[in-house]
A and B are shown apart, each in its own frame.
Chain A
Amino acid sequence: MQTKFIISALAAVAAQLLLPTEGSAQQPAPVSPQVVEAYVKGTWKSPPEGWQSRIDQDETQKLCSQYRNSPPANIAQNIVAREKATVVFPADGKVLGNWKDGEKVAQTGTGGQFTDPPDAVKGGNCYACHQMAAKELSFGTLGPSLVEYGKIRKYKPEEAKETYAKIFNAQSVQACSNMPRFGYHKFLTEQQMKDVTAYLFDPESPVNKP
């Protein structure tokens, strides 16, 4: 009898603990990835030829979505390792192009949109998210300021090489970085990535002028 009472008392306490709080009652239970993907499929029923791969996620995109860009350490390590393996450096080892052309790439935000003609010039649109040359006032703040980027790094060749890798595939440096993987997706050409690297590392570039 007493045991029974204790058990039912414990059950009552447990039920109290398991009751949803007011806050969580507002949050509907998450749905399975299959349900989400069915909605995605229904939202893009017949994409133009060659565009289906833009809807489908690769493994890294899947994981970054799942963990909302904060994956656990072991998964982050796997992502960085996988992405690092995709980086292709210029064959001659030279990562610095022409900073003036790099500025154009940094300023250009077109290319790859469904309203762009297929042959539209693609740009890195760096200024959308980063401050670069101090004289340019129209810059975004989603990414860190890159003012005097090369100067701060003392124009070291190994830093320039690392920067090229970062532009090629930002997630080869930081798992689930917000930055597009420009080389991995073949969005920018090798020359464009070299030019942007020069824009950041050439002592004559306005990026390195106060």
Chain B
Amino acid sequence: MLRRTTRENFVRAMIIRAMIAAGLLWAGPVGAQPADQTEKEIEKYREMISDPMANPAYLNVDRGEILWAQKRGSKNVSLETCDLGEGAGKVEGAYARLPRYFADADRVMDLEQRLLWCMDKIQGLDTADVIKRRFSGPGVTSDMEDLVAYIANKSSGMKLSAPVSHPKEQEMYAVGEAMFYRRSSISDFSCATCHSEDGKRIRLQALPNLSVPGKAAQETMGSWPTYRVSQSQTRTMQHRLWDCYRQMRMPIPDYASDGITALTVYLTKKAEGGEILVPSIKR
């Protein structure tokens, strides 16, 4: 389990951030090497960046912890009474059972949808600005990335076990499955184009088979949110799916829309039982 104190996280994250900035964590271009050598180099690089002690995403965890307790919105209250599914204010283990059905909203929600709901209903916070900053960038922090990193970290070491039992959860699963196989746009791609066979690659990037339950789906879904070294930012599953649809040449999917949650329900079900180790760090 990788839950640490705020201070410790901060110091480590700062050191590593500086190392990344200095290019020390970049293994360099692959160059003209024999294929097995290339594979070894890639593996070495993956190991290097997957060191959890060297993960700047713990900065997000710390900021998220502060944001969770911060009084905001027209009602000037914190999110500490927000029910993430395990009871009002209970953060521990909540992420492991999301997305799920919430009776008060009569909807299935992923963590980000639920946080927006709580900001609106509990805090009276205008979420337009929060949504505008949904993905961080140079000089822009994201409340959502911070909160998700904090909340998800409180499920680290637990197993993915989102329920698919309520009729609305079942509908979400079925829609997510249909969307996974739905081909469209100018490349005729679906999620399944890249993610329905074992051992495939795009260029040198390994592609997890997400069409069947098992290790590939578990390791994938159990490792988000993650710090993306290539983007120098911490990203959530909302961003990962946004990025997939970019590559599929689709228009931008609406943030925190039900279609994205449906896909997340489907993928999380395929990953059921997988260990959550977050925030992780990836290419």
Contacts and interface: CB of A to CB of B under 8 A. Distances in A.
A115 interface: yes
Contacts of B197: 142
B186 A180 contact: yes
A57 interface: yes
Interface stretch (A2-10, A24-32, A96-104): A24-32
A114 B203 contact: no
Contacts of A138: 30, 203-204
A140 B258 contact: no
B67 interface: no
A39 B259 contact: yes
A42 B249 contact: no
Interface string A104-130: 000000001111000000000001110
Interface stretch (B10-18, B32-40, B140-148): B32-40
Interface in A59-88: 61, 64-65, 68-69
A137 B203 CA distance: 9
A186 B181 CA distance: 23
A187 B207 CA distance: 25
A43 B251 CA distance: 10
Interface stretch (B53-61, B94-102, B118-126, B167-175): B167-175
A13 interface: no
Interface residues of A, number: 46
Given A36-B175, A114-B251, A28 B187 contact: no
B188 A43 contact: no
B200 interface: yes
Contacts of A181: 188
Contact of A114 (B194, B200, B246): B246
B179 A129 contact: no
Contact of B193 (A39, A112, A178): A178
B260 interface: yes
B201 A140 contact: yes
A137 B197 CA distance: 21
Given A43-B259, A65-B182, A137-B35, A29 B250 contact: no
B254 A29 contact: no
B127 interface: no
6 nearest CB pairs, A to B: A43-B259, A28-B170, A47-B251, A54-B185, A185-B186, A180-B187
10 contacts: A43-B257, A43-B260, A44-B251, A51-B251, A54-B186, A55-B250, A68-B181, A137-B35, A181-B188, A185-B187
